[in-house]
């Protein structure tokens, strides 16, 4: 199943997608949009373009597992996104994904403007890889 992954941000939103076999998560890029309604429409168009059947949306949680105001904003955006694309939207814990993304970018010596443009897409890949591992371990993948 093709799954689109989203790392939602106030200005930049990272997007990644996997192949039908759920083996490889690849960055799609970053969508720059401040208005949630327009962002949901743009993501719905990307989901259609990539023939996605589900969307995995990163849910920011506090380190102790509780949810703050940012998580509520993501839950509200999830409802907008589901309405815009008509696909199931699965919320995935995204704790430390941005930290991990910065680690990967440090390892590849990605700096400056390119780093700023890339970190959100890398975060979306990390969210998707985590979700793909979960699906495989839960026996939800199609072999």
Residue boundaries of the structural domains of the chain:
3-137
CATH of domain 3-137: 3.30.420.140
Residue with tokens 């780093």: 115
74-99 per-position pLDDT tens digit: 999 999 999 999 999 999 988 766 66
| 28 has a pLDDT exceeding 70 | yes
What does the pLDDT read at residue 141? 85
Per-residue pLDDT tens digits for 36-80: 999 999 999 999 999 999 999 999 988 888 888 899 999 999 999
CA distances from 100 to 28, 94, 103, 111 (A): 18, 10, 5, 15
């Amino acid at each position: 199943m093709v799954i689109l992954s989203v790392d939602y941000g106030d200005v930049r939103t990272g997007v990644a997608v996997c192949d039908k076999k759920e083996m490889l998560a690849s960055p799609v890029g970053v969508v720059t949009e401040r208005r949630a309604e327009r962002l949901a429409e743009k993501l719905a168009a990307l989901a259609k373009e990539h023939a996605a059947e589900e969307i995995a949306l990163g849910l920011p949680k506090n380190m102790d597992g509780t949810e703050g105001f940012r998580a509520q904003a993501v839950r509200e955006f999830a409802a907008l996104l589901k309405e815009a694309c008509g696909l199931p939207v699965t919320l995935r814990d995204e704790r430390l994904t941005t930290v991990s993304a910065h680690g990967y970018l440090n390892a590849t010596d990605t700096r400056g403007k390119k780093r700023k443009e890339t970190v959100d897409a890398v975060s979306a890949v990390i969210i998707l890889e985590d979700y793909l591992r979960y699906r495989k371990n839960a026996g939800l993948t199609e072999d």
